[in-house]
Structure 1
Amino acid sequence: MAGRSPNPVSQTLSGEDNSRRAVERRLPGRARPAHDVLREYNEFNAKRRQRIPSILWIFVAPDPDGCYRWRVQLDCDCVTEVLTGGDDPPPSDHHWLDPVHQQRLPTGQLSCKHDDSPPAPYRQITERSDRREVSFPADPIEPPDWTDADTWAVVRRDKPHSKAFWTVALACGHVTEVPTDLTWKPTDGPRRVGPERQRKMTTEFEAFWATQPDGQSKQEQEHTRRMLADGWPMPRPEQLCYRCPDARLIVAYQRVGWLVPRKTLSTPPKQPSRAALQRRLERTQAEADRLRQQLAQLDTDKHANAAG
């Protein structure tokens, strides 16, 4: 889309302040037909409920009558629709699920893929949490397409092996997994090479870049230089974030209404205030006094006519 922002999320790192920036306003275009949205939700919910115990439906697979529709505009100018469980808070206050990686995004971010999105940036690892182990078979004898036979002979693992995968939080607020050796623990810190090996590796990479200037992208070169300067730490203190290129901030939202329209209840008449009732009583009493005077005058006139 012309004029689209390249990717502010990658520049600002986090969407935690987005709830203060998103505004409610009328957005361009129109909402989707309500019957289409309801049909799609019911189909999705039916499949979801097949794998979820019924006792949990109210929390993770609710009936459509509790869903509220919104149109949201992202910082890439795209407009899409979302559903929330109720009409408050607005969608910019929610942690939305990344549909590809099945991880919660920072507040107010949605995933929106574009062909011209920037490459995945490197982010510092700020926290490690869950750990799982994954077993791999021996590597095939034939080298894969991305390397040659000589290199494959060096890096190939000829026996089954296992790796530990840690869930990590990155400085951008996104979550991913990184592999480590089975015995490694966060308290161990990264392992580094000695000074002599560090100098040799630096010399080798400098020679590689001089003879093959296109051998690594600018970003990869900068990453490699940081790792060399830090003693080639393992595991790496920074990781590519594949969520950043598609993560977009909600900058505006518009209410559409309940997914299942609610019946309008008749509003009881508003009760008048005490002051209004007092004024009404005074007017009524004044009118009654006037009518009494008229009746009295009629009686007087009647007696006068009879006497004459």
Structure 2
Amino acid sequence: MKVSKSRMMVVTALISGLASLGMGSASAADSTLILSGGNGVYNLGPITINGTASSAGVVKYMLGGQVITGCEAVATTTVTPFVAKCAWIPAAAGPAVLTGEFTPLDATLTKATSNTVKVTIGVPVQGVISPIHIYVDTILATGSTGALAPRFNGCAIMNEFLLGQTIVFRVYANNADQGGAVMDSSNTAKAYIEVAGVKDPITLAYGNHSGVAFWTGVLKTGAAPLYSTLGVINYKVTLIAKDSDTMKVLSTKLSAKKNADGTRVLGANGRTVYDRVTYYRTVSVSPALKGATGTWSSNFTQTSQLSLFAAPVAK
């Protein structure tokens, strides 16, 4: 049978057109995987990492290029959005780099590598403090004038100071060895601040300030020999308790529950209902209890750290 040349050209053109539309030989379609989440606090349970894929399949999650245990092959949901969740328990706080690899159930689809997610696993800013807990803030000393004068209130808590201003550190602390007692000049052996770049520690003084008492230390800034390093001011506060021949021991006891009118609450059996509550009892110790040492350094992000800036130039 003869086939005209014109008919063959039409058939050839049709096949070429179908191929150009993807209806020719089968080719794998591109898959996608988008990672999100992963931010959280260290030692506070699993942190969820979300992987959203373009189709159903499994996701392998990785930390710094290494597979996360328990998240080697997390199945996505079977309907859109195709999400796979990894319950990640970080081994440490700090920066982490997360990635994922997606394998679709449909063999005609390609595998996919996710975007890179960079997170920083947080730690409680106060750290683990025992037995001494310390609180610190910084305020501008009174007496500054002109461009160095406070904008609103000289005792406002702030972390940004100008060269030439005087920084006052305000410190208070409690000692769990003494039932959470306030650390003052009667029970504290040493109290000081070490500032990076300053030769001698700043001695803290305990006293009354407009009706409230706390520890204070002063850092004067300005031209040498005063402190003049611009940028973050790194410092550490140290308080050392005096040795003591007594200490407070946390104990428990039974305390009768009472009604609003002060009468005891009675149970179904007619007997008094008790709660177990905590209290401190004083015990004598020999040899004397060595005074504990408490330290504090700022653990906030850099933008929240105590910082010194150049004073504005008058125009």
Structures share a fold, TM > 0.5? no
**Taking structure 2 as the reference length, what is the TM-score of the superposition?**
0.20
**Taking structure 1 as the reference length, what is the TM-score of the superposition?**
0.20
Q: Which has the higher contact order (CA 8 A, sep 6+)?
A: 1
Higher strand share: 2
Higher helix share: 1
